[in-house]
Chains A and B, each alone.
Chain A
């Protein structure tokens, strides 16, 4: 009798599960439904299920799985759709990419004007892995999705400093502007400024709290391998001061990331001795989050529960990525970095950093949200906003969350407006940005 009862119970249980799966996942058994939540508690049940025909466990690399299982990271499924770029970027790509040449001897790029330099996935796939790695990261370097011709991410929690046991320790309000000087596609010449190798101007400045208000960095970034020209404003003496260009592999002040970790990858490819394409694979990652509007920090970061650094995003979808191994030069704190870069558009989703002893150290991640297209964009995003951006240091159990409280992009800002004067204005409490309404902090 007991056998019969046990078998009956197992059968009923299996039927209930199957019914639940059918209800959740539609007609195909094992196929998860849009909106399904995957978390530490249900991982074992979910991992063998599929979404859009691929098993969940095949799309969650082990370091992201670590965050799911141990840090409360939750994955909510969304149906995938292609990543696209505004028509002016794709037209520039079609027009100029055929002339772009990668020289394997110098590892440099010639004839770049605008658009994505190496849009042909087949050519990347066909190249030797070390050349393919360079080409992928040159795409990020010149045409990374996180910046338009002008982008400004700003807010009251520009950086939260987080201890995984104690919570948020400090918050700094500020802004990060990137102004593209080479490869412009939103109107006017493709290049502005005197220096033909000036690629962009980047300004990161804080306006709160009082003692760091105005402390910021003004950076001229070049595409010929030259180190950046960097200036900082020292508020307490009210002077702009020249800094070393050799800081690209140093820690970004007060944070858990290095300067070359900004936007998950921020350096000239030739500064690394070798960049190798290791494989192509599928991952789940949010790239179609909703546009960044006024939001409370609690909407995007679970700072209340340990480890206080887990981001919240409900729009994960299958993406095919290149897995790129970046070999660091002598003196670099990391032994190597592994970056996950989308195969459709040059977007670095996350970078894993390893110690020189090959021990896993940090993750620097950036989830994406398409910027709403303007009239000239042909219905496609001119850039992708950072919906969640942060770093987890697994060795020190310390991390950061950089919140773009609001976003401006592709404003008609002139090159000459991008001067160190902006740093001075920040010291007086002026935040760059069109929006004045923000959500609540902690």
Chain B
């Protein structure tokens, strides 16, 4: 039976293949080798709930409230083959977005270059790797994803890969879809004599520019930080991944030791890699003795990260504790926040952060508590116990000095930046209705996000998720968001402030096979 569902007004058809109840395709060769195909076709719509205050060329507000900010059709195919002597995996994802009226408005803004849709449309063999075991070593060779640490939502030890926050910023539940795979040699050596295993990672430096570090929307798209909707910052400060202090062709490498002591599972980690977020290398104060080609450029300097993570279950408390600590000596930060002495010295004509780079020792600390079996069956009439998770995440500059005038977005970076999060997963009707509530709060600067969603499971193939992203940006003494015309608020905009006026309602329909 062939089913067609027409996404309203988009002319996009999702075609379900002839209905096999078993949700994958498997083939076996005469020699016993197998090929398994699985994946999905997905339509994902997102609607602006706010009016955007940025101005168009004619002076009108950009607005865009109730307009679609995203109409994204994607397909993913995962092919897995057991060859007998090894296993091969290839994951392809293709994305085609419909240019909504709102995206068209963003693309029409002055300063935009090329077609904005080129930033979203994509066809990519995201992962391709071979697994081979020799003796006590498991090898994985090729483009892949490696995840370290115990932290949700943020990155402490989990710096092997960057994330692509341009098409969906922070809030996609499957972060494997946002993580940017890298070409690596990944060897896990089993050492039963010491009761653990040692993972060795080596990235030879064969990746493309866009595969490195976190990619944030600097091109004025739907997830550009307010007030930059429609503003292409990359025209002013392009990416440079050939800077000699941050060269993507330089190898990255690291190791992770994983073992257990009594009831505690732990890891010890070291990684040499490129910085997770880009910093501005300004002509005013070039970093590492290498000036940008123009006024400024964005670079990802190389860093070393060392740390540990642990988890333990406490029987008397019936709680799981998660811990993570990652230390980066000399992590690069831009200096000169709005209102700082060096910013004021230039009369406000030079943007925040364009005053050079300062290296500071940084610790990222995470403390989390999970209650995986919260008994909500009677109180909330859930089908089974619910999952409650709490997390404190602190970015601590251990040799902090006010005189450095470090920048966070455009405003002052504090010695500690603490974000708390609380998540609750519920389940109804035999796990086929799954509401999730996620709340994050910036304890240092104020502001936060509330992300409710419900996932509906229909049989083996159809999945529907409806969610909202509500950002709280106008509370707290330190949190506001930059007013586009007057630039008022630039002195107090932190992470959640960049999401001001960008509340979204999204609907995602998936046919999986």
Contacts and interface: CB of A to CB of B under 8 A. Distances in A.
Contacts of B32: 436
Contact of A210 (B28, B89, B373, B512): B512
B263 A246 contact: no
Contacts of B21: 168, 171, 441-442
Interface string B447-465: 0000000000101110100
User: Which of A170, A211, A244, A428 has the largest number of chain B CB atoms within 10 A?
Assistant: A244
A208 interface: yes
Contact of A242 (B23, B87, B190, B320): B320
Interface in A214-269: 226-227, 229-231, 235-239, 241-247, 250-251, 253-254, 256
A436 B34 contact: yes
B242 interface: no
B217 interface: no
Nearest to B375: A331
Contacts of B118: none
A437 B29 CA distance: 11
A398 B431 CA distance: 13
A165 to B, nearest CB: 14
Given A209-B460, A253-B431, A242 B313 contact: yes
A242 B311 contact: yes
Interface stretch (B172-180, B226-234, B286-294, B499-507): B172-180
Interface stretch (B8-16, B36-44, B103-111, B408-416): B36-44
Interface stretch (A109-117, A313-321, A414-422): A414-422
B439 interface: no
A236 B176 contact: yes
Contacts of A430: 80, 82, 87
Given A253-B431, A429-B80, A244 B384 contact: no
Nearest to B35: A429
A237 B175 contact: yes
A236 B179 CA distance: 11
B135 interface: no
Contacts of B78: 210, 428-429
Nearest to B459: A170
A97 interface: no
Contacts of A59: none
B313 A244 contact: yes
A156 interface: yes
Contact of B384 (A173, A194, A226, A251): A251
Contact of B28 (A161, A244, A250, A437): A437
Nearest to B371: A244
B372 interface: yes
B187 to A, nearest CB: 13
A241 B371 CA distance: 12
A331 B385 CA distance: 12
B312 interface: yes
A220 to B, nearest CB: 10
A244 B190 contact: no
Contacts of B23: 171, 173, 208-210
Nearest to A210: B512
Given A173-B24, A243-B320, A229 B38 contact: no
A301 B265 CA distance: 42
A372 to B, nearest CB: 21
B370 A208 contact: no
B318 interface: yes
B59 interface: no
A242 B370 contact: yes
Does more than half of chain A's interface fall in helix, strand or loop, or is it mixed? mixed
Contact of A244 (B188, B263, B318): B318
Contacts of A245: 313, 315, 318
Interface in B366-412: 370-373, 375, 377, 383-385
Interface string B141-175: 00001010010100000000000000000000111
A322 to B, nearest CB: 31
Contacts of B383: 251
B249 interface: no
A177 interface: no
B370 to A, nearest CB: 7
B265 A244 contact: no
B250 interface: no
A430 B347 CA distance: 62
Given A211-B512, A213-B38, A242 B322 contact: yes
Interface in B29-71: 32, 34, 36, 38-40
Interface string B479-512: 0000000000000000000000000000000101
Contacts of A441: 20-22
Given A211-B463, A247-B373, A429-B24, A170 B315 contact: no
Interface string A305-348: 00000000000000000000000000101000000000000000
Contacts of B459: 169-170
B513 interface: yes
A227 B263 CA distance: 11
A229 B318 contact: no
B138 interface: yes
Contacts of A157: 22
22 contacts: A171-B460, A173-B23, A209-B460, A210-B24, A210-B38, A210-B40, A211-B40, A227-B315, A236-B174, A237-B174, A238-B145, A243-B320, A245-B313, A246-B373, A250-B384, A251-B383, A416-B190, A416-B192, A421-B138, A429-B38, A430-B82, A441-B22
Given A209-B513, A237-B147, 9 more contacts: A208-B38, A209-B460, A235-B176, A242-B313, A244-B370, A250-B384, A430-B82, A437-B28, A442-B21
